[in-house]
A and B are shown apart, each in its own frame.
Chain A
Amino acid sequence: MATSEAALRAPMSGAHSHEGTYGGGIWSWITTVDHKRIGILYGLTALTFFVIGGIEALIIRLQLHGPNAGIVSPEVYNQLFTMHGTTMIFLAVMPLGAAFFNFLVPLQIGARDVAFPRLNAFSYWLFLFGGLFLYSSWFFQAPDGGWFGYANLTSLQYSPGLGIDFWFLGLQLLGLSSLVAALNFAITILNLRAPGMKLMRMPLFTWMTLVTSFLMVLAFPAITVGLTLLMMDRFFGADFYRVAAGGDVVLWQHLFWIFGHPEVYILILPAMGIVSEVIPTFSQKPLFGYPVVVYSGVLIGFIGFGVWAHHMFAVGLGPIANSVFSATTMIIAIPTGVKIFNWLATMWGGKIKVKVPFLFAFGFIIMFIIGGLSGVMHASPPADLQQTDSYFVVAHFHYVLFGGSVFGLFAGIYYWYPKITGKLMSETLGKWHFWLMLIGFNITFFPMHFLGLQGMPRRTYTYEPGLGFHDMNLAATVGSFLLAFSFLFFFWNFFRSLKTGDEAGDNPWNAATLEWSIPSPPPHYNFDTVPTVRSRDPLWAEDGYEKPPADHEPEMPAGSAWPICLAAGLLLLAIAAISSHLWLVGVSVLWIFIAAYGWSFQPVYR
C-alpha cells in the first residue's frame, strides 16, 4: 500500500474536530476501522464459531457414548472431528485472542488506534470470509483429513472430492488474515506507545500479544508453503507428496508442525497474558517478578520453534533427532513452569477478591498444570510411543487448550466486559458458569487419560464392547453436556447484563493498567489527550501517569469500504479456485487489483 495510516497519536493539532461518537447503522460497522469495533466483531464472530464447534463436539461425544453407536456414519464422524478441530483452533480460540488484541492493546499502550486501522479491518473481514468459506463445505463435502491433514491422506487419490480443497483454501485465507493482523499488532506495540510506556512497563497482556504476533509472522509461512504444495499436487498434478514420484510425505509433517507447535503457543500466550493481568488485579498486588514473566514468555516464543518434531516421534526420525526434540520439549516446560510460580507468588500475601474473572484465571492455572504435566510425559519418546494417537493426547491438548486457553480467554471476557460495554456482569451467574464448566470439563476430559493409556485410539468413530472403554466414554459424554450447559449461564449473563447490569464506571476492579483510566465504554478516540506514563502500574503508583486536560476532540480516521472489498476479492479467488473457473479467477484478480488501488489512493482522514 502506498499510504500510511500510522501515527494516530499526534493529530491533536487537527484543525476540525470530529464527533466523538460513531455514526450509526450497519454501514458504519461494515466500513469501521476502529479497533474497538473490530475487536467486538472479532469477539462475537469467534464466540459464534465456538458454539458451532461445540455442537460438532457434542455430536462426536454422542456417537462415542457407547460401543457401536450409530448416531453418525464413519464418514460424517471424520468430517466432524476435522471441522471441530479446525474451527476451535482457527475460528474460535485464535480470533478470540485477536478480539482482545484489538480491543485492548491500543488502550493499554495509550494509543488512539492500531498502526494500520484499515489493514486491521481487512484482517477481520478476511477471517470472517475464510470461516464462511470453510463452513460452506458442509453444503458440498466437508473436509475429513483431521486438523493437521496429513499427506498423503489428503492426496487426490485418497481424498477425491472437494472436502480437502475447502480445507486448504479456507486455511490459506485464514492464514493471510492472521499474518496481516500479526504484522499490524507487532508494529502497533513497537511504535505507538505513549511517551514513557517503555517496553518493560508494558502490561503483560500487551507483551504476550507482541510475542504472539512475532510467532505468527514467522510461523505461518511454513504452513502457507505446505498448503501451497498441497494445492499444486491436487490442482496441477505436482509431485510434492507423491511417493511414487520420489516425493516424501514426511515433508508435510515437518512443514505443518514447524507451524503447528508455535501455533499452540499462539493459542496459549494470549491467555497467559490475560491471567497475568487478572491475578494481580484481584490480589491487589503488582505481578510478582514482572521481568521474569516477560522473559519466560519471550523464551517460550524462541524455544517454541525448536520442538516441532515431538509431534513426530512415531514417524521414525531416528534416535538422535528424537532425543534432541525430546530435550528441547522438556526445556520448554521450564519457562512455562516459571510463570506458574510467579502467578502463585503474586497471590501470596495479596488481598484476594474472589470475583468471577479471578476464578477463571485460577481455574486456568490448575487445569494448565495438569495439561503441562501430561505434555512433559509425552516429551519422552518411549512414553510417547504408547500415548501418541491415543485418547491420552486428546486429554493433553484439551487440558492445555480448553483448560488453559479457553479458561484464560473467559477470564478475559469477564474481566474486560465492563470496560467494553460499560456494564457489570452478574457475579452469581458467572459463578454458576465457572463451577459447572470446571466440573463438566473435568468429567469430560480426565477419563480420557485412562482411556488413552488403555489403548483407545483417537479419531475412530466407535469401539467394540468388552474393551473396557464404555463407562469412561459415557462419563465423558455426560460431562460434555454439563460443559455445554454451563455456557447457557454465560450467554444469559452476557446478554442480560447488557440491559440490566450495574454501571461499571471507569475502573470497577481497581486495576492498574491504562485502559482503566478512561470511561467505559471508551470514547471513539480512546484518549482525548495522550498520557505520559511513569510507572509499570500507572493507576496504582503515586503519580503513575499524567494526562493534560483536553481542549478539543482528536480527529480519527474515517471508515473505509475498501478493506471488506479486498477481502471479498480474495474470497472470490478461493471460490474461483474451488469451482475451477478460469474466467472467475480473472474477475477476482481484477477485483483485487481495483480494491488495492482504491485503498491506496483513499485518504485516511476525510
Chain B
Amino acid sequence: MSQGEAAALDHEYTTTGQPSRKMLMWAFIGSECMFFGTLITTYLVYHGHNVQGPYPKDLLSVPFISVTTFVLLMSSLMMVLALSAVQRGQKKWTRVYLFLTPFLGMIFLGGQVIEFTHFAHSGLSLSRNLFGSTFFVLTGFHGAHVTVGVIWLLTLWVQSLRGKLGPEHSLTVEIAGLYWHFVDVVWVVLFTVIYLMQGVHT
C-alpha cells in the first residue's frame, strides 16, 4: 500500500486498540521463543556428548565474542534512537540511526563469519562432532535472523533517504525494532549458554 494509506490504517479502530501488525509481530515472537528455546535445549542436552574433538574449550573465545556482543547490543541502542527520531520527525537523525543499526548488525555478522572460518580451519564442521552440529545450527539460525533484520532495516533506511519515512510511519519502524530487539535478546541468551557456561564439561 502507499505509505499514507499504511499510516491511515494504523489508526483504525481495532478491538484491543492495538494495531494488528504490531500484535502479529508479538505473536510471531512468541512462536520464535519456542523455536529458539527448542534449539537451545538441544544444544544444552548435547553439551559434553562429543565423542571426539575439537571441544568447546578448544575454540570458543569469550573476549572476541564479547566485543561483537557489545556491538550488537549497541545496535539495539541505535534502534531505540532511530525510533525516537522517526517519531519526532527528525529526518537527519532518522537516517543516521537507521543506518547505524544495521551497520552494527553487519559488524556482528562479520564477527560471526570470522569466527566460523576460524572454527572451520580448526577442523570443526557440522559433521565433525555434536559440538559442531549444535553450535553451527544454533548460531547459524541466529545469524540468519540477524541477516533478515539487517535487510529489513536497510530497506527502511533507503525509504528514509527517499523521504518516505515520516512520523506517520513510526509504527513500521517500531515493529522492525521489536524484531531487532528480540534477535538481540536471543543473542544474550546464546552468549550466556554457549560462551559463558562452557566450562562444566569437556
Contacts and interface: CB of A to CB of B under 8 A. Distances in A.
Contacts of A224: 35
B45 A251 contact: yes
A222 B19 contact: no
Interface stretch (B1-9, B104-112, B114-122, B191-199): B1-9
Contact of B35 (A6, A115, A187, A225): A225
Q: How large is the interface on B (under 10, 10 to 19, 20 to 34, 35 or more residues)?
A: 35 or more
Contacts of A251: 42, 45
Nearest to A237: B127
Interface string B43-80: 00110011100000000000000000000000000000
Contacts of A186: 27
A1 B23 CA distance: 13
A415 B14 CA distance: 30
Interface in B1-35: 1-2, 5-6, 9-10, 12-16, 18-21, 23-24, 27-28, 30-32, 34-35
Given A217-B31, A222-B34, A255-B38, A187 B20 contact: yes
Contact of B9 (A7, A190, A197, A247): A7
A183 interface: yes
5 contacts: A9-B12, A191-B14, A192-B15, A255-B38, A603-B5
B126 interface: yes
Nearest to B176: A2
Interface residues of A, number: 51
B113 interface: no
Contacts of B9: 4-7, 604
A116 B12 contact: no
B130 A247 contact: yes
B20 A225 contact: no
Contact of A190 (B15, B42, B171): B15
A424 B15 CA distance: 35
B34 A7 contact: no
A168 to B, nearest CB: 15
A184 B126 CA distance: 35
A229 B130 contact: no
Interface of B: 1-2, 5-6, 9-10, 12-16, 18-21, 23-24, 27-28, 30-32, 34-35, 37-39, 42, 45-46, 49-51, 126-127, 129-130, 132-134, 137, 152, 155-156, 171-172
Nearest to A188: B20
Interface of A: 1-7, 9-10, 115-116, 179, 183-184, 186-187, 190-193, 197, 217-222, 224-226, 228-229, 232, 236-240, 244-248, 251, 255, 258, 597, 602-605
A115 B22 CA distance: 12
Contacts of B137: 228-229, 232, 238
B129 A245 contact: yes
Q: Is the interface of B mostly helix, strand, loop or mixed?
A: helix
B136 to A, nearest CB: 8
Contacts of B172: 2
Contacts of B24: 115-116, 183-184, 187
A6 B127 contact: no
6 cross-chain pairs, A with B, having the tightest CB-CB distances, nearest first: A6-B20, A237-B127, A7-B12, A603-B1, A221-B35, A246-B49
Contacts of B37: 221
A602 B3 CA distance: 10
A192 to B, nearest CB: 7
Contacts of B133: 232, 238-240
Given A115-B20, A247-B130, A229 B46 contact: no
Contact of A246 (B18, B50, B152, B156): B50
Nearest to A557: B1
A191 B35 contact: no
Nearest to B173: A2
A604 B21 CA distance: 14
A376 to B, nearest CB: 28
B96 to A, nearest CB: 20
A378 B35 CA distance: 30
B28 A245 contact: no
A238 B127 contact: yes
Given A7-B12, A183-B31, A191-B23, 12 more contacts: A2-B6, A2-B155, A4-B10, A6-B20, A116-B21, A179-B31, A191-B14, A224-B35, A246-B50, A258-B38, A603-B1, A605-B5
Contacts of B5: 603-605
